[in-house]
Amino acid sequence: MRKALMAMLTLVAVLLVACGGNDENTIQFWTPLTGDDGAYMDQLVEDYNATEPEIEVKHIITSDMYTKMYTVLNSGNGIPDLSIIHADRVPSFVNQDLLKPMTEIMEAQPELNADNYIEEAWSAGEVDGTQFTIPLDIHGSAMYYNQDLLEKYGVEHWLDDNVVTFDEMLSLQGQLEEGDYVLNDALLSWVLLAQIQNLGGDIQENGEPAVNTDAMRESIEAVKELADAGLMTPYGEDGYLMFQSGNVLFSTDGTWSSTGHAQVEDLNFGVTNIYAFEPDTFHNRSSAHLFAMLTNEERSEEKEQGIADFLEFVRANSIEWAEAGQIVASQDVIESPDYENYMQSFFTSSQEQEESLHIYTYEHYPYVQEAMDNYVADLVHGEMDIDTGLEEMQKFVEDKVAEGSLDMENTELLDEDELEEELSEE
């Protein structure tokens, strides 16, 4: 009987340990790419493995990736060899010492260098002169237009300079048929983040979060003017869907939406920049998918060589990734003639366009965006007073920064060793 009990306990223990298995001969590659994106990445990985590399890549999609990363980093067990993280995570990951620099990877494959990638995507992975990531893509705000509606209202010329302005949109006030709108409020916080750049503002001041600023207020008030004029799809309604059903001239959503819009029958659409104040100053708030290596001392040199080979393969062959609607970061790909067939090639069609892509690299950017996501729709649609909203947003970010960043002043009661002891006792 005792034996049976022991056997059972052993079995449970084995099962628990087996969950964290680490294979020497495969590169464990984690991504947060769910849906179609994941399928395109699967294809890329499959193509790479078909070249019979020494170490194969195993693509693992984890929808809750960052949470799982924290778990494995904490336990030190099952840390992935390679992963894709978003640009806005880089500063805080580097600050917490969670990323291994790409130095050796870049030495192993010399083509993995700044010249071969879109500048904004490359520099998103650079902190204090050290390169921590290799970019896969840039993705971000894009504004889709409904060609038929532009013709119906005779405003195709708005697109002549590739920038639709606030004034141009306001000129349609009172001239729309019932049920038609000039723009929707999809990804509104990203639109506002672009306006802040257009106004020369920022979301930080000397490292401190700056949300309650003149630039933020001016941006919100300008967009609110569009909403007040009845040009924006109403509060709480699905503006994305209304664009697809052909009632909205402009949809401010993401580069990846082109694949979704393309599936809608009879939707005659194209892509342009997010609207701006002036035609010569425009930005599109962007993010990037970046290859990164979490800190892990057990990663062998052979594996690093394998990672370098895989990243070089992706650099040369990621046209597949354009299918997902993303702006591929590799210059080789975006300069290839095939890439022009993809709608998002618009954003890399000129130097000026490339410079319009703006990635916020402020350490606490994620908190700022969270605050904006919580508040801006209410502010723009007049559901909440702008002054109050700005104050609450500023407070929201400051409180999160104060709690979220571990300041060592709080450790007076216990030092780290004591804490570890206490933990092991539990």
Residues at the interface with other proteins (CB under 8 A): 1-2, 4-5, 8-9, 12, 16, 64, 66-67, 70-71, 73-74, 88, 92, 96, 98, 234-238, 241-242, 245, 364-367, 369-370, 374, 377-378, 383-384, 392, 395-396, 399-400, 403-406, 408, 410-411, 413-414, 416, 419-420, 423, 426
Residues 6+ apart with CB under 8 A from 234: 381
Which CB sits closer to other proteins, 5 or 50?
5
Which residues, listed in sequence order, are joined to residue 285 by a DSSP beta bridge? Answer: 358
Angle between helices 188-198 and 214-228 (to 10 degrees): 120
In the three-class reduction of DSSP (H, G, I as helix; E, B as strand; rest coil), residue 30 is classed as strand
Residues 6+ apart with CB under 8 A from 218: 195, 199
- The CA-CA-CA angle for residues 299, 304, 307, to 5°, reads 120
Structure tokens at 304: 């690093």
Minimum distance from residue 1 beta carbon to other proteins (Å): 4
Minimum distance from residue 232 beta carbon to other proteins (Å): 14
- 22 within 8 A of 298, measured Cβ to Cβ: yes
Distance CA 116, CA 270 (A): 28
Which CB sits closer to other proteins, 316 or 419?
419
Distance CA 329, CA 116 (A): 8
Distance CA 400, CA 306 (A): 39
Which CB sits closer to other proteins, 110 or 404?
404
Residue with tokens 């106004």: 199
Minimum distance from residue 370 beta carbon to other proteins (Å): 4
Minimum distance from residue 237 beta carbon to other proteins (Å): 5
Distance CA 196, CA 390 (A): 14
Minimum distance from residue 116 beta carbon to other proteins (Å): 31
Which CB sits closer to other proteins, 105 or 232?
232
Minimum distance from residue 381 beta carbon to other proteins (Å): 9
Minimum distance from residue 288 beta carbon to other proteins (Å): 16
Residue type, 92: S
Euclidean distance between the first and the last CA atom of the chain, given in angstroms as a whole number: 30
Which CB sits closer to other proteins, 4 or 18?
4
Which CB sits closer to other proteins, 182 or 397?
397
Which CB sits closer to other proteins, 245 or 281?
245
